[in-house]
Amino acid sequence: MRLDFTTMHATLIRRRQERQERHRLERELASFDTPAGRSELEAILERHSTSEIAPIQPILDRVLFHSPIHVH
């Protein structure tokens, strides 16, 4: 039973870390909220293949296409 608890605990810790990293990435991507920032992000993404971007595509879709662009 100890192994099951240890495994479960490690899984919970890993999931928490993944969730924290995902939230950090969402905040970072959301910071590209000006036209210049969006252009900069597009330039960064263009340097990578579709397969490289695929793991973060859902975050990009959610954060970039559903957040307003601020004109400063």
Residues 6 or more apart whose CB falls under 8 angstroms from that of 53 comprise 45, 60
CA 7 and chain centroid, separation: 26
Taking alpha carbons only, the member of 20, 15, 41, 45 closest to residue 30 is 41
Tokens 């990578």, residue located? 48
Q: Which two tokens stand for residue 30?
A: 């959301």
Helix (H/G/I), strand (E/B), else coil: 31: coil
Q: Give residue-wise pLDDT tens across range 44-67.
A: 999 999 999 999 999 998 887 776
Q: Give residue-wise pLDDT tens across range 14-45.
A: 999 999 999 999 999 999 988 899 999 999 99
How is the chain split into domains, by residue range?
2-65
